[in-house]
Every structure is written in C-alpha cells, then in structure tokens.
Amino acid sequence: MPTYSISVLKHQRRVDDKFPVSIRVTHNRRSAYLKTDFYVVTQQLNKSFEVKDKILLKLLLEKIEDCEDIVLRGLGNDVSNYTVKDIVEFIKKKQTEVSCIDFISFAKRHIARLFEVGREKRAKHIQTTINALVDFAGQELNIVKITSKFLERFEEFLRSERTIVRINQFGREVATKRKPLTDTGVHDYMADVRAVFNEAIDFYNDDELGDPVIKHYPFRKFEIVKPNPPKKKNIYLENIRKIMNLENGLKRHDLARDVFMLSFFLVGMNTVDMFKIPYSSRRNGRITYQRSKTKDRREDYAEISIKIEPEVERLMRKYADPAKVHLFSFYKLYKDSSTFNNAVNKGFKQVIREINESIEKEIKEAKIKREKEELRNFLVPEDTRAYSVRHSWATIARNVLNISKDDIDLCLNHVNEAHKMADVYIDKDFTRIDLANRRMIDLLFQTED
C-alpha cells in the first residue's frame, strides 16, 4: 500500500518567500507529489524543514486521510498493479469530482424540481433556507466546505440579528433587518440543509459501485437543535360558532371566515387543496381528492372522500367556479395558492381581532372574578392562522365527541404508523368520516336550552 507524508521543498521558494506544501505519495519505492492549496513561511517550519504549525498540520493530516480513503475505496487490493503516478492521478480525479459540486447550484435545481412536481410550499421553504445560506456563504459553496464546523458557524449566523438584501418586484435592492431565529426556526433551516445534502448524496453517489463521490456527512457530528414544543393551535367550539356568525362586509375578513368554515365543514381541507381541487372531484354527493401535502409520499396518494353535508352547500355555491374547471373560484381571484393562503391569513387576523373584542366585552360585563378568568381562556392568540381549523376539529372530536384517535387520523387523512401494516390489507371506510363529521356539524349548530 502507498504511504503519504507532508513535503515542503527548499528549492520551491516563491518570490514572496512562501513555500508550497505538497503530499508525497510513495509506492513501490517511487514517489510522486500531490499539490495542496496550502503555503507556508519559514516561521511555520522547523530546522528540518517540517511543518510545525499545529493547525496547519491538522488540516494536512485530514487531507492525507482523505487520500488514503480515496485509494482504499477506489483501488483496494488492486493498488499493487498501479504506479505511483497512476495513484496520484486517481486521487486528483476523485478530488476534482467532489470539488466540482456547488451545493447552492444543486439546491436551486432541487427547488426547481419541487416546483415542477407541484410541491410549491416545500420548494418555497427550502428557497428561504438557501437564501439565508447565500447570505452567509456567498453565491457559490463547494459541498466539501459543508462540515460540522461550517454548520455551527451558520447556526450562529441564524441566531444573530442580520441585514439581508433582496430584489423587490421593481427590480431594486431592498435591505431589511432580520431578527435572530428561535430554536424552532434554526431546526427548520438546518433540517432543510440536511434534506438537500441527502438529495446530493443520492444524486452523486452510486451505492452499487461502492465508490462514493461525496464521502463526508457533517450531520453525524453536528446535532440539529430540537424545536420548541408546538403551541396548541385549536380554537374553542364557542369561538368557532362566533366565527361562523360574523358579519363584517370587508372582503378579506369575509373570505377568511368563509374559508375557515369551508375547511371545518370539509374536515380540515387546507387552502392549497381548495385552490387546486378540480371540479371533477365532486361526484355522487362527495368530494374525493388527493391531499397535496402528502400525496407524493404515500402509496395511496393521500386520497380522501368527504360527504357534502347540507350546511356546506351555501358556501360551495358562493365560491363555485362557473367554468367548472375547479371546484372553487379562488384560482380566478388569486395568482397562486400561496397568495390565496396569505390573503386568507391576513383576513383571519381581522376575524380573530373581532372575536377577541367580543370576548373582552364579555369580560368587562362579567361581575364574578372566576367568570372573568374563565372568559380570558377563550381569547384567541393573535398569531393563530386559518390552518388551525384542523387542530380545532381534532381537539373537539376527541375531547367533546369522544371520537377515537384512529378515526380522527382517518378524518384528517393521516397515516397511523402503529397500523401502517394493517392498512395495507384494509380498505378505507370513508363512511366513518361521514359519521364523525355529521356529529361535529350537529354539535356546532346545537344551541343551549
């Protein structure tokens, strides 16, 4: 097997008094040299012209380990059939392969693929992460530079207040300040980097050949911080009744109210699906569709079928697509599902504000301290989004209607990992959703005696 050593030659002194550092490869009593990117000055060498700088020595020894790994994996026992020059050329070739991988460019191609397959939300989430990575490391980032130390520095960057520059819709640069990310934010960004890194490994490495191009994996050493415990996002049944009966007249407010109630009546259908769902999904008094968020990750394409109850018909008629291309006309009002979702959430802030104002009024009118405290529990957090309808539906179903967790998973189109194998053999019975949803709607319209 070849041996490796650090080499600095006196006769290679440059005009700036620096010496190039090479790795000498010796094999069958012959030597050849592999250039590195490092240079040293006399102060970094001892009397024997050996490198004494500890930090540089560590980096050079890591390079030697990489060389050994490349030869061992690529040539194995056949190394005896190669000359030392062949071995050096083989190492150069393999180092060039990985050094040509620009992580930022690969990430952009991955994002484009996600957009192509309709995973718009996921693509935009990763795009935000890559924008932050570009802010930190620049427009180009060799994949070999993504080490555990690099990730630690990137995390420090994310946790700091920083100024970012973006191009606005008029093509002008706009600088804005960003607050430090929380543990949850850091977790999400780092999970995105890991996901793209894993995609790169799948793309460039060939497991069958056993000769990976990307040999390092920084996430073995770098531990992604755990996210903060999620806040409870459910809205009390009493507040859902108030939302249902709100009359404001403001376009965005009423849109948010209607979309929230549509989602509630349709067992948590999200805004992306409302925006995209085709007209053909409605047949035989049901809406049968594949949930956009998970259809590409499940063997059943995340298909679900919801019975159209009488209470939802009014809203469905209000937002019906006259062209009968989509089930709802939202696609004619907004550019894309993201714009639609943003409009709904902005309107929902107005809805929450109105609900909280009515509760504050009740608190003022209450004469008993305990009653005031109980009413305060009904105040809706200001950052609550329209998506909270799914959390609300599930919470009410379990805590008020005593519907089983298995049936709630079915209603919300979730995969129950405990029953994953059994689900392969059991056909879905959507009538269980019908029964649960009918009970939920009856409860919503129930009035106290």
Single pTM value for the model: 0.60
| Integer Cα distance of 324 and 129 in angstroms | 38
CA angle 113, 195, 222 (to 5 degrees): 155
Architecture of domain 237-445: Orthogonal Bundle (1.10)
| 397 close to 408: Cβ distance less than 8 angstroms | yes
Residue labelled with tokens 């061992």: 72
Q: Cα dihedral sign for 10, 16, 18, 22?
A: negative
Average pLDDT along the chain: 87
pLDDT tens per residue, range 203-214: 888 665 566 778
Assess whether pLDDT exceeds 90 at residue 440. Answer: yes
Which H helix or E strand runs over 142? none
Q: Which of 7-11, 95-99, 197-201, 367-371 has the lowest mean pLDDT?
A: 95-99
* 380: Cβ contacts below 8 Å, ≥ 6 apart: 235, 239, 352, 355, 356
The pLDDT confidence band at residue 426, using thresholds 50, 70 and 90, is very low
Q: In the chain, where are the structural domains located?
A: 3-99, 103-220, 237-445
Calculate what percentage of the chain has a pLDDT beyond 70: 92
Q: Which has the higher per-residue pLDDT, 407 or 76?
A: 407
Reading the block at residue 171, the tokens are 């093509």
Q: Which of 75-84, 255-264, 375-384, 426-435 has the lowest mean pLDDT?
A: 426-435
- Mean pLDDT of all residues in 29-36: 89
Q: What is the pLDDT of residue 402?
A: 94
Residue labelled with tokens 């939202």: 330
pLDDT tens per residue, range 320-372: 999 999 999 999 999 988 899 999 999 999 999 999 999 899 898 888 888 88
| 434 close to 391: Cβ distance less than 8 angstroms | no
Query: Treating both helix axes as pointing N-terminal to C-terminal, what angle do 431-445 and 237-244 enclose, rounded to 10 degrees?
Result: 80
Q: Is residue 77 packed enough to be buried (19+ CB in 10 Å), middle (13-18) or exposed (0-12)?
A: exposed
The full 3-state SS of 16-68, as one line of letters, equals CCCEEEEEEEEECCEEEEEEEEEEECHHHECCCCCECCHHHHHHHHHHHHHHH
| Integer Cα distance of 442 and 311 in angstroms | 10
Assess whether pLDDT exceeds 80 at residue 297. Answer: no
The pLDDT confidence band at residue 415, using thresholds 50, 70 and 90, is low
| 270 close to 276: Cβ distance less than 8 angstroms | no
Q: What is the pLDDT of residue 378?
A: 85
The pLDDT confidence band at residue 422, using thresholds 50, 70 and 90, is very low
- Mean pLDDT of all residues in 265-274: 93
